[in-house]
Amino acid sequence: MKILLDEIMEQRNISERQVSDLTGLPRSLVHEIRRGSRPRIDTVEQLAKGLGIRMRDLMESEYL
């Protein structure tokens, strides 16, 4: 499973700090996710909620 945070940030032209502000997640965690760290499912949910998207739009998986 790949988290598509980089792609979403690029499309919206937003920074790690802005993602952090929108989601309530630490900027360091946002950075780690962008660099390939696999977040917990509750973190993915928090990202999706803060960005106003569905969780499946944030994840790339052959099983979704």
Q: Which of 33, 36, 35, 60 is nearest to 46 (CA)?
A: 33
pTM (2 d.p.): 0.90
Q: Which of 5, 63, 7, 55 is nearest to 30 (CA)?
A: 5
pLDDT tens per residue across span 8-52: 999 999 999 999 999 999 999 999 999 999 999 999 999 999 999
CA distances from 62 to 1, 2, 25, 37, 59 (A): 8, 10, 27, 19, 10
Write the CB contacts of 53 (distance below 8 Å, at least 6 apart in sequence). Answer: 8
Q: Side chain identity at 27, as an amino acid letter?
A: R
For residue 1, name the pLDDT band (cuts at 50, 70, 90): confident
